[in-house]
């Protein structure tokens, strides 16, 4: 178990890593300390070689109510841009590019930044009673953590237009038909369903799953040219050629490559 300031808890359940937002009195609204704690938890998950799937959930009645308005409303414009928007992007990108598949456990509403957080996960399991939407323009701001970029790639242009421009807030069953969530379960069942799905994923070949996730991200536009180098380097690292080259460098001899 790893807890950063008590705001985000990271723990392991076998091959499953569980990241829990812990600010229930604010419906897990995000501020800078929570973003820092979330980044720390994601780093821990990435380094855990025995963790094959990561769940992201919220404590209490909400998954995540988005960015805490009180945390950013008084910021100067430059601070809002760099400390809030750009740092939030960094943390959400960290989640989206985690090597393990990720599942958002939506047992409470996911609004604004909360839906952007869910969008950064690979899969989303929602309880029937929850609502999802992007209400930012109603208070004069725009989705700032990839609600108009990653969300469009993952949910489709029209669904995002309806939420951002049209003010639509979707119930989970409707969100399922639109592809915003992947499974809908009864109230109280999201965590159990997410763990069961995670167990099925964890039973698959871990290297194949990680490589496939990366390749899908390339096709989707989430990953770019660096992923080609990552995939190629991972392949080379498993070969005898790399071992031969490293040993030759260490012993100052000419390497004998075998293409194996």
Residues 6+ apart with CB under 8 A from 93: 120, 146
List, edge to edge, every strand of the sheet that includes 8-13.
2-4, 8-13, 16-21, 53-58, 102-106, 123-127, 183-185
Please give the angle made by the CA atoms of 16, 93 and 18, to the nearest 5 degrees.
20
> How many whole angstroms from its chain centre is CA 78?
26
Phi-psi region of 214 (alpha: psi -120 to 50; beta: other; left: phi over 0): alpha
Phi-psi region of 67 (alpha: psi -120 to 50; beta: other; left: phi over 0): beta
Indicate if 116 belongs to the active site: yes
Q: Could you give the CA distance from residue 45 to residue 126 in angstroms, rounded to a whole number?
A: 23
Annotated active-site residue in 59, 116, 210, 222: 116
Annotated active-site residue in 136, 193, 210, 223: 136
Active site residues: 116, 136
């Amino acid at each position: 178990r790893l807890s950063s300031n008590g705001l985000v808890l990271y723990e392991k359940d076998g091959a499953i890593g569980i990241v829990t937002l812990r600010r229930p009195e604010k419906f897990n609204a995000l501020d800078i300390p929570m973003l820092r704690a979330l980044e720390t938890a994601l780093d821990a998950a990435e380094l855990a070689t025995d963790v094959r799937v990561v769940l992201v959930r919220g404590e209490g009645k909400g998954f995540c109510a988005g960015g805490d308005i009180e945390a950013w409303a008084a910021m100067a414009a430059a601070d809002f841009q760099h400390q809030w928007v750009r740092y939030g992007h960094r943390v959400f990108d960290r989640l989206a590019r985690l090597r393990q598949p990720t599942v958002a456990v939506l047992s409470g509403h996911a609004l604004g930044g909360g839906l952007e957080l869910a969008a950064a996960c690979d899969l989303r399991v929602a309880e029937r009673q929850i609502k999802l939407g992007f209400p930012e323009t109603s208070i004069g701001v725009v989705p700032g953590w990839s609600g108009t970029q990653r969300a469009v790639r993952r949910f489709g242009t029209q669904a995002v237009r309806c939420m951002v421009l049209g003010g639509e807030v979707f119930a989970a069953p409707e969100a399922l038909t639109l592809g915003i969530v992947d499974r809908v379960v009864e109230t109280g069942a999201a965590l159990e369903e997410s763990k069961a799905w995670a167990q099925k994923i964890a039973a698959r070949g871990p290297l194949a799953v990680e490589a496939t996730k990366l390749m899908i991200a390339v096709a989707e536009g989430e990953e770019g040219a660096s992923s080609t180098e990552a995939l190629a380097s991972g392949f080379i690292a498993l070969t005898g050629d790399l071992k031969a080259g490293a040993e030759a460098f260490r012993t100052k001899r000419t390497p004998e490559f075998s293409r194996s």
